[in-house]
Amino acid sequence: MKKYILLIAMVLLFVSCGTSSTPDPTKEKTVKSAKKESLEAIDFTLTGLDGEQYTLSDYRGQVVIIDFWATFCPPCRDEIPHFIDFHTRYKDEGLIILGIGLDREEKLAPFSKSMGINYPILIDDRKTSSAYGVKSIPTTFILDREGEIVKKFVGFSPGLEKEMEKEILPLLKREKGIE
């Protein structure tokens, strides 16, 4: 009986912890902007591991990566070093990374410290991940300077970080309001 429970738990882990795919964000049910056919990111306010409140709309004018992840997810752990590198290289050009951890603070804090995460880690309230339609982790959204979702990545596998970087570089070069 214990073997079957363990087997079911492992299957659920692998189903919810994806490796790589990049669905078209226009097919996701997210709030649409009234002005355009693009997708406006849903605003949220979450508490960070540092005790501060983080509100997504406060980062308008910057390129934002929102990453939903968990400590138990191998692909999530694999992508974190790339986000650390992106933050180091591009923060002065207007990139902000918001990691939204699906674990409890007691797990997130020591894990984040051990990984050397240098960007804000926020604690999911379950409403935010639900509003973004997160069904598998990691799920990563890239937002332009106007707060619109330009790309969604579900899962992670080696090499996907290059595709993410290809998405953010032109957005970083584009000034707010200039196409």
* β-sheet bridge partners, residue 149: 39, 143
Q: What are the φ/ψ torsions at residue 86 (nearest 5 degrees)? A: -60, -45
Q: How confident is the model at residue 26 (pLDDT cuts 50, 70, 90)?
A: very low
Q: How confident is the model at residue 18 (pLDDT cuts 50, 70, 90)?
A: low
- Please tell me the predicted confidence (pLDDT) of residue 150: 96
Average pLDDT rounded to a whole number, residues 40-51: 97
Catalytic residue status for 76: yes
Of 103, 102, 104, 69, the C-alpha closest to 83 is 69
Q: How confident is the model at residue 7 (pLDDT cuts 50, 70, 90)?
A: very low
Of 80, 57, 78, the C-alpha closest to 67 is 80
41 close to 143: Cβ distance less than 8 angstroms: yes
Please compute, for residue 134, the number of CA atoms within 13 A of its CA located in the half-sphere on the CB side. 25
Burial (CB count <10 Å: 0-12, 13-18, 19+), residue 60: middle
Catalytic residue among 63, 66, 76, 122: 76
H/E element, 66:
strand 63-69
Domains (ranges, CATH) in the chain?
Answer: 2-173 (3.40.30.10)
What helix, strand, coil percent values describe the chain, rounded to 5?
A: 40, 25, 35
- Please tell me the predicted confidence (pLDDT) of residue 174: 84
Average pLDDT rounded to a whole number, residues 104-110: 97
H/E element, 16:
helix 2-16
Structural tokens at position 71: 């400590």
Residue 13 has pLDDT above 70, yes or no: no
Query: Taking every pair of C-alpha atoms in the chain, what is the biggest distance, in angstroms?
Result: 61
Q: How confident is the model at residue 38 (pLDDT cuts 50, 70, 90)?
A: low
- pLDDT tens digits, residue range 112-141? 999 999 999 999 999 999 999 999 999 999
Lowest mean pLDDT among 16-20, 95-99, 143-147: 16-20
